[in-house]
């Protein structure tokens, strides 16, 4: 990627930056959704283990 002087914005550089920014945003959203899915699975596993250890009516 070529250097773009902040005083003279290059239209091609700006379009490239926007495309890269958009790609990074989509990747972040995908990672975030995947991370939430993993955390939900871990939470369900903790609940299951707590219920099998303490019993379903135990408030712990």
Residue 5 falls inside a structural domain: no
In a domain, 17, yes or no: yes
Q: For residue 31, what pLDDT is reported? A: 86
The answer as to whether 23 is a domain residue is yes
Give the list of residues 6+ apart from residue 1 with CB closer than 8 angstroms, or none: 13, 16
How large is the average pLDDT for residues 3-20? 66
Examine the pLDDT at 5 and tell me if it is beyond 60.
no
Q: Is residue 35 part of a domain?
A: yes
In a domain? residue 16? yes
Distance in angstroms (rounded) separating the CA atoms of residues 30 and 24 = 10
Helices and strands: H and E segment counts in the chain = 1, 0
Domain that holds residue 17: 12-54
In this prediction, residue 39 carries a pLDDT of 93
Q: How do residues 13-54 score in pLDDT, each as one tens digit?
A: 777 788 888 999 998 888 898 999 999 999 999 989 888 877
Contact predicate 51/43, CB 8 Å: no
* pLDDT confidence of residue 45: 94
| Residue 43 included in any domain | yes
Residue 6 belongs to some domain of the structure: no
Q: Is the pTM of this model over 0.75?
A: no
The tally of domains found in the chain comes to 1
Is 42 contained in some domain? yes
């Amino acid at each position: 990627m070529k250097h773009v002087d902040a005083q003279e914005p290059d239209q091609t550089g700006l379009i490239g930056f926007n495309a890269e920014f958009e790609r990074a945003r989509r990747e972040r959203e995908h990672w975030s959704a995947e991370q939430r899915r993993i955390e939900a699975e871990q939470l369900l596993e903790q609940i299951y283990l707590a219920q099998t250890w303490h019993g379903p009516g135990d408030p712990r």
